[in-house]
């Protein structure tokens, strides 16, 4: 009995640490569990038991990991796994889920995202429609193995106007938040390899199709370079900062190959790590020790990188010229 009370007590300590300062824990518990304030207080004081269903409701809503409450070992880390349901997938729901996730993070006092970009951050693929259509085809054909995409050549109408509109809302949400991105000369490589492979197997109807996609990719690089010059993020064709935030973008050039896509999320009361898995799936944990270890590594990476936003004009131009050269070389070899 004593052990159960200790677990429940620890659970509410974890919940309190996750709540923004302006929220009352008793009110939160009462609202989420649809119980009275008195009943909420009895659970918080461990005078009444918290049921497994109630534990699940609160832990899911406020990202409280089971291992944070139950385990005594610092070597065990619990991850939430957001996987794509291949049998019931739509890009509309995918874009919407990412948009809602960013909004939910803002409710927890989102301070900053640090994005170690082994590959081009997924949001940027949807700045321009032809690059977006290519990525949708690649995901359908080579990630999801959709039956209607195995033999089809690229059709730029593959991404509907509605899908592109939904993806643009997702992009706008990302552009509105403070972000530190770490890029290397290899950040574009996977996209360029995919384009080259599709060209070799005849997935483009016309030579101009792949040139148009590479032109869109060049526009993305140009956009990132302008963000780096300004020190803030903005929407395509509009250099005004999103939501008026003119100091929300830093980018580092790392000359040592980045090993993986890692996203560190700094919140008001706790922190989160996102790890990419199988392209579009995400492993998430708010384990403090894991976050601290991840942050120490990323911090070392940044210290061994060059900050190329706002200052370091020479290094910034040198880095982006390397990326432009990769794109231009591929166009020349088509």
Give the closest residue to 298 by CA, choosing from 250, 254, 267: 254
More confident residue, 161 or 121: 121
pLDDT interval class at 159 (50, 70, 90): confident
Helix, strand, coil distribution of the chain in percent, nearest 5: 55, 10, 35
pLDDT tens-place string over residues 162-192:
877 888 888 888 999 999 999 999 999 999 9
What 3-state class would DSSP assign to 180?
strand
Residue range of the domain that includes 29 = 2-70
Give the closest residue to 223 by CA, choosing from 79, 134, 127: 127
Whether residue 244 is contained in a domain is answered as yes
Whether residue 197 is contained in a domain is answered as yes
Residue 182, both tokens: 């770490």
The domain boundary, picked from 17, 39, 70, lies at 70
Residue with tokens 């620890």: 10
Residue 139 — φ and ψ, nearest 5°? Answer: -65, -45
pLDDT at 269: 79
230 and 113 both lie in a single domain: yes
Whether residue 75 is contained in a domain is answered as no
Q: What order do you get walking across the sheet with 271-277 strand by strand? A: 80-82, 281-285, 271-277, 262-266, 112-116, 179-183, 249-253, 306-307
157 and 8 both lie in a single domain: no
What is the pTM for the complete model shown? 0.79
Give the closest residue to 323 by CA, choosing from 185, 196, 128: 185
What 3-state class would DSSP assign to 262?
strand
115 and 159 both lie in a single domain: yes
H or E element: which one contains 285?
Answer: strand 281-285
130 and 152 both lie in a single domain: yes
The per-residue pLDDT of the chain, averaged, comes to: 86
The domain boundary, picked from 70, 92, 119, lies at 70
**Tally of structural domains, the chain:** 2
pLDDT tens-place string over residues 185-210:
999 999 999 999 999 999 999 999 99
């Amino acid at each position: 009995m004593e052990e159960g009370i200790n677990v429940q007590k620890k659970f509410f300590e974890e919940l309190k640490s996750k709540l923004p300062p302006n929220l009352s824990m008793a009110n939160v518990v009462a609202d989420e569990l649809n119980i009275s304030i008195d009943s909420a207080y009895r659970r918080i004081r461990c005078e009444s038991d918290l049921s497994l269903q109630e534990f699940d409701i609160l832990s899911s809503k406020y990202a409280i990991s089971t291992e944070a409450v139950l385990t005594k070992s610092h070597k065990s880390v619990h991850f939430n796994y957001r996987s794509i349901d291949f049998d019931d997938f739509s890009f509309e729901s995918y874009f919407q889920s990412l948009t809602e996730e960013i909004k939910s993070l803002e409710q927890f006092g989102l301070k900053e995202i640090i994005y170690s970009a082994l590959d081009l951050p997924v949001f940027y693929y949807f700045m321009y429609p032809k690059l977006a259509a290519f990525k949708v085809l690649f995901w359908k054909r080579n990630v999801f193995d959709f039956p209607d995409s195995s033999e089809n050549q690229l059709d730029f109408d593959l991404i509907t106007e509605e899908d592109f509109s939904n993806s643009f809302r997702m992009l706008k949400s990302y552009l509105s938040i403070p972000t530190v991105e770490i890029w290397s000369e290899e950040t574009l490589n996977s996209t360029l390899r995919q384009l080259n492979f599709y060209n070799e197997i005849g997935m483009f109807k016309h030579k101009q199709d792949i040139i148009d996609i590479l032109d869109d990719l060049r526009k993305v690089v140009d956009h990132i370079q302008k963000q780096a010059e300004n020190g803030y993020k903005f929407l395509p064709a509009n250099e005004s900062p999103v939501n008026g935030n003119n100091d929300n973008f830093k980018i580092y050039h790392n000359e040592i190959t980045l090993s993986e896509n890692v996203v560190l999320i700094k919140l008001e009361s706790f922190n989160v790590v996102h790890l990419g898995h199988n392209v579009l799936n995400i492993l998430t944990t708010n384990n403090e020790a894991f976050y601290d270890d991840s942050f120490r590594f990323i911090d070392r990476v940044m210290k061994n990188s060059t900050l190329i936003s706002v200052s370091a004009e020479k290094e910034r131009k040198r880095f982006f010229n390397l990326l432009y050269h990769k794109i231009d070389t591929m166009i020349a070899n088509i």
